[in-house]
Structure 1
């Protein structure tokens, strides 16, 4: 059994198409097909449902893909470990983040890159919580920054980073903009622009509205926090955003950010990695950075306080 055969099988599972999988692996389609067929012969189980075109993996193939992903991840971790022992950590760190936490990622990547100058960082923002856990499990990312207000499934571990608080973002001329705080009931009566219901950040807001006996009816929904700011800037809409995004955009001219109260709630955000042993060098190094960095203290004060 060769690592190359496992790579081809994982690529086929991901691309769901022989030609695209071959292209992703920089080989010809016949070469990829023959390597997977030899893997089937060696394991003595069918891995691919074959017809006139690709029809998916067999149940055995689905199980073998999980092993292949783990074996390849362990191979990469072994290489990284040896390189780190010889010349320091190098390679690529892959981080996934929910949209509302994207503004806080830089609080970790900055000190991480200073500590590990040979590592490049790839941040995949705008991810949903379930996708982060799935990609961690499939070794497609090294770490995720997501909500911790519910128990993590078995096989994951977390480092709490900060408590996500919420502010009402509205035009400066609005009556609520002159206040030091705003209630969820008051916000519900405004023409709101919020994240879409498919996103965890929106579901958190819905839970907070429900706690106040309310159900929001936003006129505009989006999957982009930046789009929320853009809509509020027009003067037609108000929005509720995590306070961390004010550290990215500030409070734009003509707007005000008013802390939300009644209920006054915060939702924990943390760094999530798999709990397998040994942990990958990238995940271990980022976790160490997270323990040494007081992200909560950095984000505690709103700009302009």
Structure 2
């Protein structure tokens, strides 16, 4: 969906994934080479990688321990996984709000945790793989080769928590913008905003990949979404699951050339702890979870202050998973 200490590679900007979540003690997030990383962690500390693979047969009577990082989106995802498993008769223990990827990954390897909601591109970068692999399938294929033999990823969902270029509805209508490519020939009239490091990281890639040269770059930090809405900037770097996208009626532009690498939400599992029943339940969640849906769920948690467990249950019921 950055690289703070929670679950993503620590490569730079310390960004608040959800600006409205300060009151909820959001875990710090930082960016990977391609963008945001809710689970942030330093890639230099990643354990040695081995060969990955699919989940194993597991132990049918054992308890599946579902963990999460210490920020609201990951807790919500952990609750979705947990309740989906319970609905299929799987014994589940929840261990949420644990901390960073550095801690979580080690616990998953040791078997203290069985299942963790991950972000595939950030996980690949953490393991020293190619962080810029642009598509979900490419990232997942690289992960399968990079993960140690004890771990596996299940099906990645279409849902992503990643960087976007977002504009107001007025700007989208005025310039006919649906994708980043549509900014070609128009960027010279527009001011772009984002974290202080955004220009140094992305100015050249925007030129190389999309041929864009913006009129001006402004550091807007955590106020980027508001700056877009207020017109202080016309284009802003906003996280795809930031509730302010829907709250302020912003328009995230599609990224047809995959400038921002894939950050699909993906179950990471200890293969010894999941059987076919658990695997099927988690894959069914991934099949239903998309970015727009997750954005709506995060609005309920972050803006409306609803209980993540109740929000998870409601979503699972609506999608026929409980």
Q: TM-score range by the shorter chain?
A: 0.3 to 0.5
Which protein is bigger by CA-based radius of gyration? Answer: 1
Q: Name whichever structure is richer in helix by fraction.
A: 1
Q: Name whichever structure is richer in strand by fraction.
A: 1
* TM-score, normalised with respect to structure 2: 0.43
